[in-house]
């Protein structure tokens, strides 16, 4: 297996912009070898056992590394991404969940944990995507129920399969998915208001922002850019409707671009929130905005 890892590494390190070839080689080996050996759930165990790959496993691993080296995200090749401690199905219909979005969820979970235990938590999400945020809310907080909007029918299908996997077959008794068109925003949540919690990682990339070629090629435009190319569209729209969306004592959590954090924070000062604050991501840059009502 060590020889195969070395072969994978030489393919992956030759890839332009290669960032974590070791971790990616190990993920490929774990996937390929664990098909036949499900007990090999961590790479540490794999190293200890040092299994001899079959010729089929070797071919599968090399094919995956070649496809990865051509620029396809490993998550699309493996069909999954870990978010917090669960593996979620992913595909090109929506954004691959990011570590920054884990910060968004954790900030929100900390706020929920300070509420009175068992208090009803009615939430709304804009931009369900693969379903990671709504799904984590349902799994971790039994008092949570809500609605989530999404503009891509293929992303809705993906989220439904993730919700069925992690939240049980009757997840739809706790979450209503609202299929919308890309030019709709918080007005679709208004009939379901008031909310104790709004959470969203909306499309927020500005045209002209530098984005990695791999992201531009493999992740959908509609998950990155707002439909009208106004990068602050969803934030401003929330601010204009916040007083009708939020229940007293509720809070809204948004993922935001750190480059425009100050401007977006200033916009939220007009929302009627009692307190607005910015929360840093793992690199120390402002990435989450919390507004308390």
Ligand X SMILES: C[S@@+](CC[C@H](N)C(=O)[O-])C[C@H]1O[C@@H](n2cnc3c(N)ncnc32)[C@H](O)[C@@H]1O
Binding site for ligand X (CB under 6 A): 94-95, 97, 101, 126-130, 132-133, 149-152, 155, 180, 182, 184-185, 201-203, 222-223
Contact call for residues 182 and 230 (beta carbons, < 8 A): no
User: By the 8 A CB rule, do 25 and 61 touch?
Assistant: no
CB 202 within 8 A of CB 130: no
Contact 252, 291 (CB under 8 A): yes
Distance in Å, CB of 283 to ligand X, minimum:
18
The span from the CA of 199 to the CA of 128, in Å, is: 10
User: What is the C-alpha to C-alpha distance for residues 212 and 217, in angstroms, rounded to an integer?
Assistant: 9
CB nearer ligand X, residue 129 or residue 257: 129
Beta bridge partners of 126: 149, 200
How many CB atoms lie under 10 A from the CB of residue 111?
15
Residue whose tokens read 């992956």: 12
134/119 Cα distance (integer angstroms) = 18
Q: Which is nearer to ligand X, 57 or 80 (CB)?
A: 80
* CB 82 to ligand X: min, Å: 13
What is the enclosing helix (H) or strand (E) of 279? Answer: strand 275-280
87 sits in which H/E element: strand 86-89
Toward ligand X, which CB reaches closer, 11 or 147?
147
Shortest Cβ 195–ligand X spacing (Å): 15
> In terms of CB distance, is 162 or 271 closer to ligand X?
162
As measured in angstroms, the least distance from the Cβ of 148 to ligand X is 8
Q: Which is nearer to ligand X, 188 or 277 (CB)?
A: 188
Comparing CB distances to ligand X, the nearer of 202 and 250 is: 202
Q: How far is the CB of 192 from ligand X (least distance, A)?
A: 14
CB atoms under 10 Å from CB of 188, counted, come to 16
**Under 8 Å between Cβ of 128 and 97:** no
Taking the complex as a whole, how short is the minimal distance between the CB of residue 80 and ligand X, in angstroms?
13
Query: What CA–CA distance (Å, rounded) separates 88 from 233?
Result: 28
The least distance separating ligand X from the CB of residue 264, rounded to whole angstroms, comes to 15
Q: How far is the CB of 56 from ligand X (least distance, A)?
A: 34
State which residue, 4 or 201, has the beta carbon closest to ligand X. 201
Q: How many Å apart are CA 104 and CA 178, to the nearest integer? A: 22
> Which is nearer to ligand X, 53 or 81 (by Cβ)?
81
Q: Which residue is nearest to ligand X (CB)?
A: 129
What DSSP string describes 150-174?
A: ES-HHHHHHHHHHHHHHH-TTGGGT
């Amino acid at each position: 297996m060590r020889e195969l890892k070395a072969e994978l590494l030489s393919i992956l390190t030759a890839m332009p912009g290669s960032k974590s070839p070791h971790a990616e080689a190990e993920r490929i080996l774990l996937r390929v070898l664990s098909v036949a050996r499900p007990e090999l759930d961590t790479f540490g165990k794999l190293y200890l056992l040092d299994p001899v790959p079959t010729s089929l496993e070797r071919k599968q691993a090399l094919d995956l590394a070649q496809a990865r080296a051509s620029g396809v995200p490993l998550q699309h090749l493996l069909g999954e991404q870990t978010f917090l401690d669960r593996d979620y199905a992913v595909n090109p219909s929506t954004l691959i969940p990011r570590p920054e979005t884990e910060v968004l969820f954790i900030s929100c979970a900390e706020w929920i944990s300070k509420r009175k235990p068992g208090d009803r938590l009615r939430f709304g999400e804009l931009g369900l995507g693969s379903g990671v945020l709504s799904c984590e809310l349902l799994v971790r907080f039994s008092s949570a129920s809500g609605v989530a909007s999404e503009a891509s029918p293929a992303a809705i299908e993906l989220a439904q399969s993730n919700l069925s996997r992690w939240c049980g077959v009757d997840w739809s008794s706790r979450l209503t998915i609202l299929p919308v068109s890309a030019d709709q925003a918080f007005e679709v949540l208004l009939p379901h208001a008031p909310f104790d919690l709004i959470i969203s990682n909306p499309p927020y990339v500005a045209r002209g922002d530098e984005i990695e070629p791999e992201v531009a090629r493999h992740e959908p435009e509609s998950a990155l850019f707002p439909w009208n190319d106004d990068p602050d569209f969803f934030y401003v729209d929330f601010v204009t409707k916040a007083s009708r969306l939020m229940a007293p004592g509720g809070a809204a959590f948004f993922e935001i671009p750190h480059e425009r954090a100050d401007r977006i924070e200033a916009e939220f000062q007009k929302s009627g929130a009692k307190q607005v604050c910015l929360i840093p991501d793992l690199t120390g840059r402002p990435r989450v905005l919390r507004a308390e009502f």
